[in-house]
Amino acid sequence: MIGGTDVHIVRGEYPVLEGLTLGHEAVGVIHELGTGVTGYQLGQRVLVGAITPCGQCEACLAGDRSQCGGALGGWRLGNTMDGVQAEYALIPHAQANLAAIPDILSDEQVLLLADIASTGFAAAERGKIRLGDTVAIFAQGPIGLCATLGARLMGAAEIIAVDSDPNRLKMAQFFGATTVLLSCGDAVAEIREVTEGRGVDVAIEALGTQETFEKALRALRPGGTLSSVGVYSSHLQISIDAIGAGLGDHTIVTTLCPGGKERMARLMRLVSAQRIDLTPLFTHVFPLEQIERAYKLFASRESGVLKVAIRAS
């Protein structure tokens, strides 16, 4: 599958080694098992996590598996080692990072759990959304849509989705948004109107731009939380008045996709219980031989594209 981070790499906005195979989210079949990997079988269908923690370092043992071995260290596939946009891939620390897929679930039902859904849900979790909260999600790309769904799962009473694309706002409503706003207008003023001047309890920024970050911050009530899940490729600034000169009691948190097979197994249980259905996010499928065409389409955001899956065979 192609993700937004892959596009950042192709554009040169996030540097990796030249010639690196990209890709960090996949469903595959076990072809060979390394020494010491137990509990799996050759030919078994598994979900491969975008984050591949070792499970033994200080960060992992403290519960910060995405930061395994140092800042962003858990993200190895397609970052510091060859990724999964290939016929074969080597999965590091496989014992901790392969989640067996139940036979009742299809590849399409679980593939997005490796990164996109887990990341979007984590943005809602990190924002500590409470029952009855009012939440605004800025940008309704695949991660933002999953954050919208995550807000619903967490018990938000009012979910405000903001985006420039009317089609993505329709999908946001399908995933649980109670109010949708076009970002081309004054979204902050409209949110203030919807909330009767109060602002939102939690704002989720899911694009990674200065504009959406600042709007999310300005939409907060005093004491509210900004949960940032965007990937920023340039300098990010915080306006003094947006945080009440530092006296607004705001909380800003960031998120990298949680890693490990326990997380993926937990999310697959949500699918099995029919609490979530992510298959509407798949809009295009390409064979591996046409991956360049797939990248161009995904980056263009044309033809109603949301998520593009790549099949190796």
Distance CA 43, CA 53 (A): 23
The whole-number pLDDT of residue 296 equals: 94
pLDDT at 8 over 90: no
| Cβ-contact 204, 216 below 8 angstroms | yes
State percent of the chain over pLDDT 70.
100
| Cβ-contact 270, 256 below 8 angstroms | no
Distance CA 253, CA 266 (A): 23
Domain coordinates in residue numbering, the chain: 4-115+258-311, 117-254
Q: What would the mean pLDDT of 57-78 be, rounded to a whole number?
A: 91
Whole-prediction pTM value? 0.94
The tens digit of pLDDT for each residue in 226-260 reads: 999 988 877 888 888 888 888 889 999 999 999 99
Distance CA 75, CA 5 (A): 11
Sheet holding 45-48, edge to edge: 26-29, 45-48, 98-100
Closest CA to 67 of 255, 226, 262: 255
- Assigned superfamily of 117-254: NAD(P)-binding Rossmann-like Domain (3.40.50.720)
4-115+258-311 shares its CATH topology with 117-254: no
Interacting residues of 216 by C-beta distance below 8 A, sequence separation 6+: 136, 138, 203, 204, 205, 226, 228
The tens digit of pLDDT for each residue in 75-113 reads: 999 999 999 999 999 999 999 999 999 999 999 999 999
pLDDT at 313 over 80: no
The tens digit of pLDDT for each residue in 128-187 reads: 999 999 999 999 999 999 999 999 999 999 999 999 999 999 999 999 999 999 998 899
Q: Which fold has domain 4-115+258-311?
A: Quinone Oxidoreductase; Chain A, domain 1 (3.90.180)
DSSP reduced 3-state for 220: strand
Interacting residues of 12 by C-beta distance below 8 A, sequence separation 6+: none
The type of residue at 279 is T
